[in-house]
Every structure is written in C-alpha cells, then in structure tokens.
Amino acid sequence: MHVTHLSLADFRSYARIEVPLDPGVTAFVGANGQGKTNLVEAVGYLASLGSHRVSSDTPLVRMGAERAVIRAAVTQGERSQLVELELNPGRANRARINRSSQVRPRDVLGIVRTVLFAPEDLALVKGDPGERRRFLDELITARSPRMAGVRSDYDRVLKQRNTLLKSAAMARRHGGRGMDLSTLDVWDQHLAQVGAELLAQRLDLIETLQPLTDKAYEQLAPGGGPVALEYRSSSAGAEGAASGGAGAEAPRSREELYAQLMAALAGTRKQEIERGVTLVGPHRDELLLKLGQLPAKGYASHGESWSYALALRLASYDLQRAEGNEPVLVLDDVFAELDARRRERLAELVAPGEQVLVTAAVDDDVPDVLAGVRFTVADGTVERT
C-alpha cells in the first residue's frame, strides 16, 4: 500500500499542511527542528494509533490548539480509502473512514501500515523489556488488528486486578480481615484468558520472526550473527518453559497457556497480596535478544546494537510483505546514525519498497540509491524540489 495524500491540521508544528505523495522514494530534507519527523510521525500514528516518540497524545496537538487531525488518502492495489483521525487529548479520539460516520479509532488499524526506523529504535536492544514487549505487540496488531482489542482488554483487566490487590495489601497493613478471595479468582480467570491469547500470539510471532531477523542481520552485518530471539515468560515454571524460538516442548495451545498462567497466578498469590501488584503475566515477560551466545543488551557494541535494531525492523517488513501486506517504510533520521557500510546495505534493502519515506537534515545523508522525490522542509512549509 502507499499514501497518496497527507493532510495535517494542528498536528505538532503544523497549523495546516497538504502533502501529495507518490509511490517510490520520497525524502524530506531540512535543518533541525523544521518539522520533518512531525510529518512521518503522523503517518506512523495512523498505522499504530501511537507515536514512536511520545506515549501521550498531548504533545502531538499544536501548542494552543484543542485537537489535531491527521488525514491520509491510501491506495492498496485497486482500492483507495480516506482515513481520518482526530486527536483529542483528555477525551476520546475520533476516527472516520471514507468520510463516513464515525468509527472507533481501532477500526482504522490495518488501512495504513508502516515499518518505521528511527533513532529511538536503539532502545529495542538497549532499553527496558517494555520496549521489546511493545515492539512485539505492535507487530501483532499490525498482523491482526483485532488483537488491539485483546491488548486493551488485558491492560484493563490488569489494572482492575492491581487495584484489588492494592486494596488487599492496604487492608492487611492496617490489620483488616483481608478480602474475599473469590473476587480475585474471577479476575485471575479473566487475566489468564486474555493473557493466554496474547502469549500465544507473541510465541507464534517470535517463531516466525526468528529466521527473518537472523537473515536481516546477516545482510546488514555479514558474519556477525547468528541472532536468536528467546521469549522468557514470567508465568513459565522454573524449568523455563514457554520460551519462543528455543522451547520445543513449550506449551502453545491457548488451553495450555491458560493453565500455565492460572498456575503461576496461584503460585504467586501470597506474594502478590503482600505487594499489591500482579507479578506474573505477559506484562512481565521479556524478549531476550541474543547475539551469538550472549544477550545483546549489556554485551553488544553500539554498532552491533544498531544492526540488531535495524534487523528487527527489516524482519517485520519482510514478514508483513510475505503475508501480502506491503507497508510504507519510514526511515526517520537513521542514515546519519549509521556507518557507511550499514547505510549502504540498509538503503539497498529498502530501495525497492512500494513507498519509502526518508527524513534527513542534509541531502548528503540520503544514500544515492534512494534518489527519488525530494521535499524541502523549512519553517513549517513543505515544498517539492
């Protein structure tokens, strides 16, 4: 798919902007702070209902404005669609497809697809486990938009269960009789049900992503691998079952994963009531990225960490393409971060994409193989050059 037109109103630094886009490569070039990333961030938002830079919508709305609107015309094969999101921080966001009456924001998922490479990606390798969980869950949602509902159900159930545990912990501290544990039993079942669905999807994704990541790493840094993705589940027993990639005997069916989660919740209940928080479940799991025999985090060099992060993004691109969903590739300011060899290899790998959007501070940061349409971004204006 590709975006043929992007309109923004009160989004970030833009009061109003209309950008017609072609398939193939488009580079947005301009000095620091001129609004290049703001443009591609908007495209990424349509694909994931979130920004790759911030976790709240507030900074996305232009200072002084109340709401921001992102609108894109999208073409997939013969089909064209108009998708629109209105961001209302503090209130519910709104969405429209083909100017129709309103739909839920999550209904637009799957219309715009992106794989976004950005300097923030280094956190995939060097950052907290939450970064890697988010990477997995975003890709799961891109492959199967209905999983956005499962993800938000999980967050909701977890929040409610934590509230219950917190009040149980408070009651204990203040010498109360404690709580009626049958209520907690019900929440355990809810959590295990949605948790098993999420866990199953993550394990399936990791198995599919593993060979693609290894291949991408080899393309970017020949001879530097192998790389391995291992899922460390907080709900697996001490024997470490349920690891994706490696664990051949790991439970895979929803029923087995449900039983695993229920057993883990029962096993940690005393501790959870003491601490007032849910200690096991997908929100506590870790995706371990290994380079050779060692974890990349803490061991890989800066360059190796970059190659790993890029390999994960390339693998997600290959995966979506293989499943018949060609995403828009967005490369936000990444070439300036890479040495000449990686820059060249990455550019060659992405150049054939149906649509590639690149941002760079200067023309020289855009590799020659990505010659295409250029826009100059300056002072809130975007002009084709």
Ligand X SMILES: Nc1ncnc2c1ncn2[C@@H]1O[C@H](COP(=O)(O)OP(=O)(O)OP(=O)(O)O)[C@@H](O)[C@H]1O
Residues of this chain that interact with ligand X (CB under 6 A) are 12-13, 30, 32-38, 59, 61-63, 333, 359, 361
| Cα angle, residue 50 at apex, residues 112 and 192 outer, rounded to 5° | 100
Q: How far is the CB of 310 from ligand X (least distance, A)?
A: 18
Reduce the DSSP state of residue 27 to 3 states and report it: strand
The H or E element that residue 10 is part of is strand 2-11
Q: Which is nearer to ligand X, 37 or 235 (CB)?
A: 37
Reported for 80-85, long-range contacts at CB under 8 A and 24+ positions apart, including other chains, are: 80/4, 81/111, 83/46, 83/108, 83/111, 83/112, 85/45, 85/46, 85/49
- Cα–Cα distance measured from residue 86 to residue 19, given in angstroms and rounded to the nearest whole number: 18
Whether residue 31 is annotated as binding a ligand: the answer is: yes
Residue closer to ligand X (CB basis): 40 or 221: 40
Nearest distance from residue 306's CB to ligand X, in Å? 17
Nearer to ligand X, 38 or 193 (CB): 38
Strand order in the sheet with 227-232: 227-232, 286-291, 294-295
Q: Which is nearer to ligand X, 11 or 317 (CB)?
A: 11
> At closest approach, how far in Å is the CB of 40 from ligand X?
8
The answer to whether residues 290 and 132 touch, using CB atoms and an 8 Å cutoff, is no
CA distance 234 to 284: 6
Is 92 annotated to bind a ligand? Reply is: no
- Whichever of 148 and 360 has its CB closer to ligand X, that residue is 360
CB of 341 to ligand X, least distance (A): 23
57 vs 272 by CB, closer to ligand X: 57
Asked if residue 35 belongs to a known ligand binding site, the reply is: yes
> Least distance to ligand X from the beta carbon of 12, Å?
4
Confirm or deny that 360 is annotated as ligand binding. no
d(CA 95, CA 101): 9
Q: Is 36 annotated as a binding residue?
A: yes
Tokens of 111: 């219309």
CB nearer to ligand X: pick between 100 and 381:
381
Is 34 annotated in a binding site? The answer is: yes
Q: 38: annotated binding-site residue?
A: no
55 alpha carbon, distance to own chain's centre: 11
Cβ 337 to ligand X shortest distance, Å: 11
Q: How far is the CB of 44 from ligand X (least distance, A)?
A: 12
CA distance linking residue 113 with residue 239, whole number of Å = 38
| Residue at 168: amino acid letter | A
Query: Does 30 show up as a binding residue in the annotation?
Result: yes
Q: Which amino acid is at 41?
A: E
Binding residues for ATP: 30-37
